[in-house]
Amino acid sequence: MNNITQQVWPAAYRAIAEETARLGFTMPSEIQTCALLRTLAAAKPRGSFLELGTGSGLATAWILDGMDTHSTLISFDHDERLLNIARNNLGNDSRLTLELADGGDWVASNATKSFDYIFADTWHGKYLLLDEVLAMLRPGGLYIVDDMLPQENWPEGHHEKAIALIERLEARPDLWVVKQHWASGIIIGVKRCA
C-alpha cells in the first residue's frame, strides 16, 4: 500500500490548485485528506453537508465529487479572494451554496440547521464554537477535521490548542472519535445515536 491517490481527481481541482498557487495561499488541504473527504461523502446519500472554511474550494471539489445528485453542500469563508476561486470553478454546481461570511456570524445565524457531514477546516467549528457546531450534527453524522499533526506554519502556542481540541473531542459522550496519524493528521467523529 502507498499514499498515492491513483483515482480520478475532480474535474475542477487542477484549475483551482493553479489559481490558488498564483494567489499565494499556502494552507490547502492535502490530496490524501481530500480523497478521504470524497470517500466519506459517498457514504452519505441524500446528505446535508457543511464545510466551514471553503478556502479556494480545493477540498470542496472533492466533497462534491463524492456526493450524490440529491445531496447539498453549504460552504463559507471570510476571504472573498479565495471564495471567488471556488465560485469561478464550482459555482455552477446546483448542489453547492457558497457564502461569504465570518465563521462566528454564520454559526450564530444558522444554529437551527442540521447536517449529516461537517468538515471543519477553519477556527470556527474546530477551536471556536465547537459545541455549537457539533449541536448541528445529526445522529450518525460525520465530523471531520484535519491539520491535527504539527505543521510548520503553526503559530506559537497552536500545538497546545490542538491537544486541547483532541481532549475535548475524546471526552464527549455523544461522539465516537478516531485519530489518524496520516496526511496532516485527521480526526473523524461520528455522532452517537441515542
* Beta strands, E only, the chain: 48-52, 72-77, 96-100, 115-120, 137-145, 175-180, 186-191
3-class state of residue 190 by DSSP? strand
Q: Which amino acid is at 154?
A: W
Q: Where do runs of H (alpha helix) occur along 67-157?
A: 80-90, 103-109, 130-134
Predicted structure pTM score: 0.94
Phi, psi of 56, deg, nearest 5: -95, 0
Q: Which DSSP string do the residues of 50-75 spell out, in sequence order? A: EEE--TTSHHHHHHHHHS-TT-EEEE
3-class state of residue 124 by DSSP? strand
Q: What pLDDT is attached to residue 3?
A: 63
Mean pLDDT, the chain cut into blocks of 10 residues (194 residues total): 72 92 80 94 98 96 98 97 96 97 97 98 95 98 94 83 95 96 92 90
- The total of other beta-carbon atoms located within 10 Å of residue 36's CB is 23
CA 70 centroid distance within chain: 19
Q: What pLDDT is attached to residue 173?
A: 96
| Whole-angstrom distance, CA of residue 102 vs CA of residue 61 | 21
Alpha-carbon Rg for the chain, nearest whole angstrom, is 16
Architecture per CATH, 46-191:
3-Layer(aba) Sandwich (3.40)
Q: What pLDDT is attached to residue 2?
A: 61
Q: Where are the domains of the chain?
A: 46-191
Pairing of strands 175-180, 186-191: antiparallel
| Whole-angstrom distance, CA of residue 39 vs CA of residue 33 | 10
